[in-house]
Structure 1
Amino acid sequence: MNASAADNSTALPSWTVGDVTVHRIDEVLLPPETGPWLLPGATPDIVAGQDWLQPDFADPQGILHIDSHSFAIVVDGMRVLVDTGVGNGKSRANPAWHNLRTDYLERLAAAGFPPDSVDLVVLTHLHADHVGWNTREVDGTWAPTFPHARYVTSRTEREFWRGYDMDEARMQMFRDSVIPIEEAGLFDLVDVPAEGAEVAPGLRLLPTPGHTPGHVAVQMSSHGETALITGDCIHHPVQFAHPAIGSCVDIDPGQSEATRRMLLESLAGTGTLVLGTHFAPPTAGHVITHGDAYRLVPEPS
């Protein structure tokens, strides 16, 4: 499994998995206060105690580096986008996400994925920082950004939120980034059994519940090589060393930890390329055992 640079002047980060190229589409580096809020158990002492996290994933003071980005791939001739970030111009309670103005779509096009060309959008779960570019503002309304794509998530995920007592901030996110996709007839719910569900040749959704009940990771396989996009079952590499550290917004913290431990055990030593949806550059790597837990060995783009 060899790293490669994307063939364009801006050297967009990419990795190869068999004959599939995985592009990272950057949106925004999240501010330093994101770490203590999102992963309160990742105290500076705990983070600083894992020197392998420096300098890429944390600084010497134990401050986590956290990103927001998507992954774009071509499988069987289909252009696929995994998660869609925060989005531009969205009204959000989190100041780091509120009313962004980024060049995300330009970066996506530079990687060879102009919006009209995208065939499939896979959503690991329905949180604001994973669905934002589902839509963009057109003439004062929220229209599908990828009008020719099928938007896919797990049926369990959508049905959970349908019955959830949402606060206004979450309702707003559904109004501007989820419901317009449903109303356009582009949303596709998939049943995801324990063994996973294939949504395109070599592309499989794997159930990784806990952060949300229907959360999925995304597995790619090509010519005997495998990669896995984590979504939010793992937010940051510090959780490799301390799988008990969970997110403040995990719906089921116990299930989230159990999922993380099971996933890391299944990945350790296998050579699977792990790509974190919020991992700062170099973003990707391989899981190895480390003491009584694990660590990530980075695979540069």
Structure 2
Amino acid sequence: MSTPPAAGPAGPRWTVGDIAVHRVDETPLPPATGSWLLPDATPDLVAEQAWLRPHFADDRGVLRLDSHTFAFTVGGSRVLVDTGIGNGKQRANPAWNDLDTDYLRRLTAAGFPPDSVDLVILTHLHADHVGWNTRQENGDWAPTFPAARYLTSRAEREFWAGQDMDEARRQMFRDSVLPVEEAGLLDLVDVPDAGAEILPGLRLLPTPGHTPGHLAVELADGGATALITGDCVHHPVQLAHPAIGACVDIDPALSAATRRRLLGSLAGTDTLVLGTHFAPPTAGRVVTHGDAYRLAPVAGAYVTPL
């Protein structure tokens, strides 16, 4: 395994036993994202949930969402969960098109320079989760993490292989998925209903609906647990209204059923939930609220460099 460098100042981190989970920021998403992505989360409905303010919604009921990823070391392996939107990618969504962010600098500041990453877990193959799979080198798209294995579920890759994709999605595969496959770095894993342990303390859980092979990522150490949502939960408003789905869910009914099952299993436990698109403070615990749930936020710690 790669030897970690000294870490510099970066985004917040949370501890799960002895595992430090770092949030690596890419970019806040525009205010219009929420009404497009979760059209049933109307301003009036959002405003009814006072606990969403001020972190997850503003006073007008406008949702706040972010693009970030998570990095940690477990079982001697340095792991990155999802890779965001990426720089210089041609995307139909103007908020994602041709970005120029400091994501790799932030990842390095967290102690995970690209050549030190051992494993990249892709919760699913959507453009805002695979973008930093690659970066431009001499005019070509090359794997950003050349020493890493990239991992996603077999069901996810096989689903997209069988789709007649539109040009925007084909472009995403050309610049962010196929170069990884062609380099021999993509591993496909079968994930049964009970989940699949990838490393000691690192487990993949099937959370289908948003996409057929969508995964959530569970961490466990020293009796503590955490769960990285991917897109089975986009925003905390879905805790209060699990039936609210995303406009891009492949199977909306299955997505809602998955969300209800997952939230029910988390409610009242000490499991730390880390939302892949949750605005800061990003993490929290699921607690029962009325006939559904809410998120009790847990702020991460910012480490001052020596």
Q: If the TM-score is normalised by the length of the shorter chain, which range does it land in?
A: over 0.9
Q: How many residues align?
A: 295
- Which position in structure 2 is the counterpart of 1:37? 36
Q: Could you tell me the TM-score, scaled by structure 1's length?
A: 0.97
SS at match of 2:242: coil
Give, in angstroms, the shift of residue 199 of structure 1.
Answer: 1.3
Give the Cα–Cα distance (whole angstroms) in 2 for the partners of residues 199 and 38 of structure 1: 31
**Given the alignment of the two structures, is residue 272 of structure 1 paired with residue 271 of structure 2, yes or no?**
yes
Q: Deviation per CA, 1:46-87, whole angstroms, max 9, x where unpaired?
A: 011100000000001000000000000000221100000000
Task: Name the amino acid aligned to 2:97.
Answer: H
SS in 1 for 2:30: coil
Q: What amino acid maps onto 1:20 in structure 2?
A: I
Deviation per CA, 1:149-190, whole angstroms, max 9, x where unpaired? 000000000000000110000000000000000000000000
In the other structure, the counterpart of 1:78 is 77
Q: Which residue of 2 aligns with 1:258?
A: 257
Q: Distance in 2 between matches of 1:146 and 1:98?
A: 22
Between the aligned partners of 1:135 and 1:16, the Cα distance in structure 2 is 29
Q: For the residues of structure 2 that align with 1:116 and 1:10, how far apart are their CA atoms?
A: 19
Q: How big is each residue's C-alpha offset from its partner over 1:62-117, in whole Å with a ceiling of 9 and x where there is no partner? A: 00000000000000221100000000000000000000000000000000000000
Please, what TM-score do these two structures have when normalized by structure 2?
A: 0.95
Matches for 1:135-174 after TM superposition, within 5 Å: 135-174=134-173
Amino acid at match of 1:264: L
How has the CA–CA distance of structure 1 residues 281 and 91 changed in structure 2, closer, same or farther, with 3 Å as cutoff?
same
Q: Name the counterpart of 2:66.
A: 67
Write the letter of the residue equivalent to 1:181. V
* Equivalent residue runs for 1:187-266 within 5 Å: 187-266=186-265
Q: Does 1:49 align with 2:48?
A: yes
CA distance in 1 between partners of 2:154 and 2:226 (Å) = 23
2:198 partner SS: strand
Higher relative contact order (CA 8 A, sep 6+): 2
Q: Which residue of 1 aligns with 2:3?
A: none
Distance 1:8 1:143, change over 3 A: closer
Counterpart residue type for residue 203 of structure 1: L
The alpha-carbon deviation at position 198 of structure 1 amounts to 1.1
Whole-Å separation in 1 of the counterparts to 2:8 and 2:296 = 28
CA change 1:189–1:33 in 2 (3 A) is: same
CA distance in 2, matches of 1:59, 1:47: 9
Mapped partners of 1:154, 1:202: distance in 2: 18
Q: Deviations over 1:237-263 (max 9, x none)?
A: 000000010000000000000000000
The CA deviation at 1:200 is: 1.4
Deviates more, 1:69-78 or 1:8-17: 8-17
Unaligned runs of 5+ in 1: 1-6
Change (3 A) 1:267 1:31: same
1:127 paired with 2:126, answer yes
* Counterparts of 2:243 and 2:115, CA distance in 1: 41
Partner of 2:21: helix, strand, or coil? strand
SS in structure 2 of the partner of residue 101 of structure 1? coil
Deviations along 1:206-236, whole A, 9 cap, x unmatched? 0000000000000000011000000000000
1:9 shift after superposition: 5.9
CA distance in 2, matches of 1:205, 1:77: 17
Q: Distance in 2 between matches of 1:151 and 1:11?
A: 24
Q: What corresponds to 2:117 in structure 1?
A: 118
The answer for unaligned runs of 5 or more in structure 2 is 1-5, 301-306
Q: Give CA deviations for 1:6-27 in whole Å, capped at 9, x if unaligned.
A: x966452000000000000000
Query: Equivalences for 1:77-96 in 2 at 5 Å?
Result: 77-96=76-95
SS class of match (1:27): strand
Q: CA RMSD in A?
A: 0.9
The sequence identity of aligned pairs, in percent, is: 74
Paired residue type of 2:212: P
SS at match of 1:226: strand
Instruction: Confirm whether residue 23 of structure 1 aligns to residue 22 of structure 2.
Output: yes
8 A Cα contact 2:78 2:119, kept in partner: yes
Q: Which secondary structure state, in structure 1, belongs to the residue aligned with residue 39 of structure 2?
A: coil
**Aligned structure 1 segments of 4 or more residues deviating by more than 6 angstroms:** none
Q: Distance in 2 between matches of 1:85 and 1:9?
A: 21
Mapped to 1, the partners of 2:157 and 2:195 lie a distance apart of 17
Measure, in 1, the Cα distance between the counterparts of 2:203 and 2:246: 25
Taking the aligned partners of 1:255 and 1:128, their CA distance within structure 2 comes to 21
